[in-house]
Amino acid sequence: MSGEGVIVKMEHARALDYCARGVRGWCAARGFDYLQFVREGLPLATVLASGDELGRRVAEVAVAEAEAGAAGAAEPSATEGLA
């Protein structure tokens, strides 16, 4: 996946057990709007541009979730085609 359209959200940071205080500090240090990150998320490219390990790890979670969602959407349901 190219990551196009992937939005990185606080839920991805929480999946790695990152606390709100630490994420708030990370956002502040990089000029990201913390409330935007919590409410809407940030584009993948923006997070990766931070160039740090925290951003990379959180981005990986977001991409993995997007890929899993895309794979799940492509799989037919168990009852599809039954009538």
In contact, 32 and 43? CB cutoff 8 Å = no
In contact, 58 and 11? CB cutoff 8 Å = no
For the full predicted model, state whether its pTM sits above 0.85: no
pLDDT band at 77 (very low <50, low <70, confident <90, very high): low
What is the per-residue pLDDT across 17-62, written as a single tens digit (0 to 9) for each? 999 999 999 999 999 999 999 999 999 999 999 999 999 999 999 9
DSSP string of the chain?
---TT-EE-HHHHHHTT--HHHHHHHHHHHT--HHHHHHT-EEHHHHHTT-SHHHHHHHHHHHHHHHHHHHHHHSPPTTTT--
